[in-house]
């Protein structure tokens, strides 16, 4: 194997099995264990690979409600609002966006009462000018990653 696409191939293999051993990666990619180890270290140092975490099925843990919140923020308060949302344990994604709203946040909740309580506590901030919350009816695709192109 040439090393031309080794980093992308390594990332793609880890997307399939984040717990793969260096030895199995080396065998699959037809390179030495040392080569895999060195490239993996480089990818980690460069921030391409930020960690190895499990994919959690929140529904299986009782977090049956997914809510998408759209918020309009007072201009200078945007960093504080996004940090508050980021620090909230049930918010799984927080985005600053263009368009009608400034922030989109996605949260997981045990039930609608839990969601209602949490959202009310979050949106009572006087720097939030407007909010809109949608409840997800059906998760079609979530937390998907895509393989990198190698050609």
Total-model pTM = 0.81
Q: Give how far the C-alpha of residue 14 lies from the chain's centroid of Cα atoms, to the nearest Å.
A: 16
**CA quadruple 18, 23, 27, 32: dihedral, nearest 10:** 120
Domains and CATH numbers, the chain: 5-46 (1.10.10), 59-136 (3.30.70.920)
Q: 53, exposed or middle or buried, with CB in 10 Å at 0-12, 13-18, 19+?
A: exposed
d(CA 32, CA 30): 7
Q: Mean pLDDT for each 10-residue chunk of the chain (151 residues)?
A: 83 92 96 96 94 89 96 92 94 96 96 91 87 94 86 67
Q: Helix (H, G, I), strand (E, B), or coil: what is residue 38?
A: helix
Instruction: Tell me what pLDDT residue 151 has.
Output: 67
| Whether the Cβ atoms of residue 111 and residue 64 lie closer than 8 Å to each other | yes
């Amino acid at each position: 194997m040439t090393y031309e696409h080794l980093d992308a191939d390594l990332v793609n293999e880890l997307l399939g099995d984040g717990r793969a051993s260096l030895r199995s990666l080396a065998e699959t990619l037809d390179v030495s264990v040392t080569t895999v180890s060195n490239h993996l270290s480089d990818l980690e140092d460069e921030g391409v690979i930020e960690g190895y975490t499990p994919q959690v099925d929140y529904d299986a843990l009782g977090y049956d409600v997914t809510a998408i919140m759209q918020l309009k923020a007072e201009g200078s308060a945007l960093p504080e609002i996004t940090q508050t949302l980021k620090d909230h344990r049930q918010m799984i994604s927080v985005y600053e966006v263009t368009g009608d709203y400034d922030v989109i946040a996605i949260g997981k909740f045990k039930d609608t009462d839990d969601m209602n309580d949490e959202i009310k506590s979050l949106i009572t901030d006087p720097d939030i000018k407007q909010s809109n919350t949608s409840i997800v009816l059906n998760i079609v695709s979530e937390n998907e990653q895509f393989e990198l192109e190698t050609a």
